[in-house]
Amino acid sequence: MKHIIRHETLCSILLALIISNLIFAPVFYNASFAQSQDVDPPFIAHQPERMALRNKPMNILANISDESQIQKVTITINRGGKSITGALPEQVSMGKVPVLVQAVKDMDVYAKPSKKAKRRGKILKGEALNVTLVRGRFYRIRTPMDLAGYILAKNVEVISEGNVYGVTIPAQLTDESSISYQITATDVYGNVAKTDAIEVNLVTPQELAQLRSGEKKMTREAAGESRVKRGTPFYVQVMYWTGCALAGGGAYYFYSQKNKTKEEKATVDVVVQWK
């Protein structure tokens, strides 16, 4: 009888161990695998949208590395004191894309995907760059110093690849003067990556036209520098440059000024399904 009791007890212990292993093994495996393989958290390459048309749909795209197996990607929109969270689906049709690259030579950064476009800056050999869009033989990049533009793809080597995630924010969410959004990526190991909260100024077509005309005026006035002769009275030069400064300051204010006096409102999280 004593031998039978011991045998039954042993069987119970073994059975409990087997069940525990089946339940907890996947969790332990994921954690130990992440530690042993030194899995990096997700990496998000995204060019912030700073301005968009009011009452119009707005497209948001991000390239996200997938070395750590992305579990979900979401976008949170802050609008009118409320926080709305929705899925940022993978755009499977776009295939694999570079997310992080390194320059193999010095190169120019262009305003558009063309070597004939205006140059925005210079990239030095060895610099790491975020790729936010692929356009044929050009990559749209963003540097840690926030230089953004297009470079020739042949001038870089790919460090990390991933997939494109994107959504169209519906027009009913862009009916105010500004909104902000934040992208969050989570991998299967629980690692989380987030962009900064990005504020978008929403303007009407008329306001956008006025802004563009102001920029053209500033360009013409800057070009008029050569017409200010040395013999011009000092007070005339002062008035001229003051006018230029005011025009430039107005355009800059329109682009970048945030409403700092607005009272903070309670945040309400609402989960929506994008269409």
Shared domain for 211 and 176, answered yes or no, is no
Quick one: average pLDDT of 131-156?
A: 96
d(CA 143, CA 102): 11
Q: Looking at the structure, tell me whether residues 136 and 241 fall in a common domain.
A: no
241 falls within a domain: yes
Q: How many domains are contained in the chain?
A: 3
141, 131 in Cβ contact below 8 A?
Answer: yes
In this predicted model, what pLDDT tens digit does every residue of 204-224 receive, in sequence order?
A: 999 988 888 776 666 666 656
Q: Determine, yes or no, domain membership for 271.
A: no
Co-location of 139 and 221 in the same domain? no
- Domain match, 153 and 85 both: yes
Confidence band for 66, pLDDT divided at 50, 70 and 90: confident
How many angstroms separate the CA atoms of 97 and 134, rounded? 7
User: Could you tell me if 219 and 182 lie in one domain?
Assistant: no
Residue 16 pLDDT exceeds 70: no
Which residues in 170-264 belong to E strands, given as ranges? 178-187, 192-194, 198-203
E-strand spans in the chain? 44-45, 51-53, 58-65, 70-79, 82-87, 96-103, 107-110, 119-123, 128-135, 138-142, 148-152, 156-169, 178-187, 192-194, 198-203, 269-272
- Domain hosting 170: range is 44-203
Q: What is the pTM of this model?
A: 0.68
Question: Could you tell me if 17 and 122 lie in one domain?
Answer: no
Residues 64 and 191 in one domain: yes
Report d(CA 173, CA 167) in Å as an integer: 13
Q: Is residue 263 part of a domain?
A: no
Q: Is the pLDDT confidence value at 241 over 60?
A: no
Q: Would residue 265 count as lying in a domain?
A: no
Statement to judge: residues 79 and 179 lie in one domain: yes
Question: Are residues 19 and 88 part of one domain?
Answer: no
In a domain, 272, yes or no: no
In this structure, is residue 134 part of a structural domain? yes
What's the CA gap between 220 and 232, in Å, rounded? 19
Same structural domain, 110 and 160: yes
Does a structural domain hold residue 264? no
3-state SS class at 103: strand
DSSP string, 48-77: ---EEETTS-EEEEEEEE-TT-EEEEEEEE
Q: Give dist(CA 243, CA 226) in Å, integer.
A: 16
Q: What does DSSP say about strands 128-135 and 44-45: parallel, antiparallel, or unpaired?
A: unpaired
Count other Cβ atoms within 10 Å, centred on residue 202. Answer: 20
State how far the Cα of 260 lies from the Cα of 240, in Å rounded to an integer.
32
Domain boundary among the residues 203, 223, 246 is at: 203
For residues 240-255, average pLDDT: 43
* CATH code at position 100: 2.30.30.40
For residue 48, which of 168, 258, 199 has the smallest C-alpha distance?
199
Taking a C-beta distance cutoff of 8 angstroms, is the pair 178, 201 a contact?
A: yes
Q: Are residues 175 and 247 in the same domain?
A: no
State yes or no: pLDDT of 252 exceeds 50: no
Q: Is residue 9 part of a domain?
A: yes
Looking at the fold, whether 58 and 185 belong to one and the same domain comes out as yes
**pLDDT over 90 for what percent of the chain?**
57
pLDDT of residue 17: 59
pLDDT classification of 68: cutoffs 50, 70, 90? confident
